[in-house]
Structure 1
Amino acid sequence: MSRVRSLPAPIDLHTHSRVSDGTETPAELMAAAAEAGLGTVALTDHDTTAGWAEAAAAVPATGVALVPGMELSTRVDWSSVHMLAYLIDPEAPGLLAETQRIREARLHRAEEMVASIARDYDIGWEDVVAQTEPGATVGRPHIADALVARGLARTRSDAFAGILHWRAGYYQPHYAPSPLLGVQLVRAAGGVPVLAHPATRSRADIALSSMIGDLVDAGLFGLEIDHRENTSEGRERLLALSKRYGLALTGSSDYHGSGKPNRLGENTTDPAVLEALIESATGSAPVLP
């Protein structure tokens, strides 16, 4: 019999708060999860665990269990690969140093992008700061919100499809470790790594298929298969990889509040998968109601 207490379903293992690029505070996110009928939610802000404490404090009032996590930035060549890191030790020195480096690179990239955009549009860095919570991981979504606030885009999605699209000429990459180093850092921090939405027709998706064996050997736990951005063909590829390598399959919303159309609970994870994930972790533990 498992020593892990089953967490309440439905289970959504990928959400964001204002600590990164969501539009709600961690406490507001937990309340939204309760309103959506979720039993368990993972907070996975980009490259930071700064929202954990506030989300955990909201567990008793909302009755929603919390799986502390993070979405770690990694990169294959020039393509981003996102890695969900669950139940890590937030003070693990290796991962802590790497996420600090990533956040600094994100900030520098954002400043350079805004300076470039400002040569053609009426926007300044102060507009981005106005859209960012103190201490938040600054990224392109905050630039998008600034563009919306200045009337240069209708919505965040419109900004990403227009001015912030790489074809517009303003996009710049930022530093991120390789997926292999990402898996190694997450496991060294006692956490459990899952590749986020890894079947979206990007060049990185194809590259990942060739390196998946090395990632599994390093400790990759699973693949996020039920996600609105994964293609039907990509899902078939993920199923095949799961069967070949014994990888777990998760489902999540990738909720960002009003920043994306994704809705809480639109995709969920099987409780048995979450139970196995918790069994695999040594860095931290879920917060139960």
Structure 2
Amino acid sequence: MRYDCDLHCHTVRSDGYDTPEELIINAKEAGLKVVAITDHDIQPPLYVETDGEKLDIRLYAKKYGLELVLGYEFSCDTYVDDVHILGYKMDFESPLLQEEVERAKRSKSDAYRELCEILTSKGMPIDYENEILRYTDEEGNVRYRDPDEVQRKHIFEVMAKKGYAPTWQEAKILVRDDPELNVRRKKISPFDAIDLIKACGGTAVLAHPFLIDEVITYPDGRNLTRKEYIDRLVKHGLDGIEACYTYSKTSYKGSLSDDEIERIVKEEYKGRVKFFTGGSDYHADHKKGVENPRYLGERGISLREFEEIRDYLVGE
């Protein structure tokens, strides 16, 4: 089954493998009506180069019969994995947002260099300079990343390539579950992310709620259940929750099916948030040979559902 609207997708601007233009073309070929670009900790592209001129990327998508939704996925909470807040309908050129982008870049660069050093000390050598910043693309060309462009996924891919884990997904789990390896970069709090989204005129949506651990333990000994954690976000002004999501192809630790989670989320939060969204969290992983990649429109919402919540997601 493919949904008409996929509201959670990534490009090469964060940890995906499609360019924004490729994502739009691939979404059209997949039969989608609406697709969103929601890269991690960076503003979405507002323009594309076509015929030597800059064109509004939403108009570019419209040429392919698609409505493009622009978003920003905030990685939140230094001490809790996979707390992500999606900001839609924001002023993506706001100085407030640019300040957060720069802060997130610095925190990532420092933490990812440290992770490579710790992996090396534990018998899994990874050279940050020559294997992460300097890399070989799919066509055999040597390229260089700016430290600000490094994503944890780049490190996981090298771990898999060198045989430290069977796949990058299993490398992620290996790092996540080892306290020595799980280097904590300083992340924005989810409450501050919600405030920032609203200060920039946007709406805040909690992505993949069931990727948050069922019981959260903070370094100071505090414990919170997932439900208590999400309740706090709702009380703080969370606008929506991503209900329809590809848990079966992620590091989700539970045993519930994607459909069961969608039903539970909608039952629990109906009337408590303004709307529900859905998305595949597409990264074009098939380009890296992932055996069971997420594909566009695998999860999402119908066109009718999108039209009902369109004003929450799309700016003028």
1:191 — aligned with what?
202
Could you tell me which runs of 5 or more consecutive residues in structure 1 were left unpaired when the two chains were aligned: 1-8
Q: CA separation in 2, counterparts of 1:252 and 1:35?
A: 17
Q: TM-score, normalised by structure 1?
A: 0.82
2:266 — aligned with what?
239
Matched, 1:129 2:158: no
Shift of 1:63: 2.6
Q: CA separation in 2, counterparts of 1:135 and 1:25?
A: 19
1:271 — aligned with what?
303
Q: CA separation in 2, counterparts of 1:105 and 1:277?
A: 34
Structure 2 residue identity aligned to 1:83: I
Q: CA separation in 2, counterparts of 1:186 and 1:148?
A: 36
Which secondary structure state, in structure 1, belongs to the residue aligned with residue 77 of structure 2? Answer: strand
- The superposition leaves residues 68-107 of structure 1 with CA deviations (integer Å, 9 ceiling, x where unpaired) of 1111111174334101111211122323222321221111
Q: CA separation in 2, counterparts of 1:237 and 1:178?
A: 25
Which of the numbers 255, 276, 279 marks the counterpart of 2:282? 255
Matched, 1:181 2:196: no
Shift of 1:19: 0.7
Matched, 1:224 2:242: yes
Structure 1 residue identity aligned to 2:119: I
Which secondary structure state, in structure 2, belongs to the residue aligned with residue 15 of structure 1? Answer: coil
Matched, 1:103 2:130: no
2:169 — aligned with what?
157
* Contact 1:48–1:137 under 8 Å retained in 2: no
- The superposition leaves residues 41-78 of structure 1 with CA deviations (integer Å, 9 ceiling, x where unpaired) of 00000010153423546414533221011111111743
76-85 vs 182-191, which moves further: 76-85
Shift of 1:220: 1.7
Q: TM-score, normalised by structure 2?
A: 0.76
Question: CA 1:278/1:244 → structure 2, altered by over 3 Å: closer, same or farther?
Answer: closer
Question: CA 1:218/1:170 → structure 2, altered by over 3 Å: closer, same or farther?
Answer: closer
225-234 vs 181-190, which moves further: 225-234
Matched, 1:28 2:19: no
Which of the numbers 8, 16, 21 marks the counterpart of 1:14? 8
Q: CA separation in 1, counterparts of 2:192 and 2:263?
A: 26
Question: CA 1:60/1:243 → structure 2, altered by over 3 Å: closer, same or farther?
Answer: closer
18-27 vs 85-94, which moves further: 85-94
Matched pairs, number = 275
Structure 2 residue identity aligned to 1:189: C
1:4 — aligned with what?
none
* Contact 1:19–1:135 under 8 Å retained in 2: no
Q: CA separation in 2, counterparts of 1:127 and 1:264?
A: 30
* Contact 2:119–2:126 under 8 Å retained in 1: yes
Q: CA separation in 1, counterparts of 2:134 and 2:45?
A: 19
Q: Percent identical across equivalent pairs?
A: 29
Q: CA separation in 1, counterparts of 2:77 and 2:261?
A: 19
2:220 — aligned with what?
none
Q: CA separation in 1, counterparts of 2:212 and 2:206?
A: 15
Q: CA separation in 1, counterparts of 2:244 and 2:107?
A: 30
Which secondary structure state, in structure 2, belongs to the residue aligned with residue 84 of structure 1? Answer: strand
* Contact 1:33–1:41 under 8 Å retained in 2: yes
Which of the numbers 132, 141, 153 marks the counterpart of 1:141? 153
Q: CA separation in 2, counterparts of 1:173 and 1:57?
A: 39
Which secondary structure state, in structure 2, belongs to the residue aligned with residue 24 of structure 1? Answer: coil
Q: CA separation in 2, counterparts of 1:226 and 1:46?
A: 19
Matched, 1:115 2:109: no
* Contact 1:187–1:219 under 8 Å retained in 2: no
Q: CA separation in 2, counterparts of 1:176 and 1:76?
A: 5
* Contact 2:76–2:84 under 8 Å retained in 1: yes
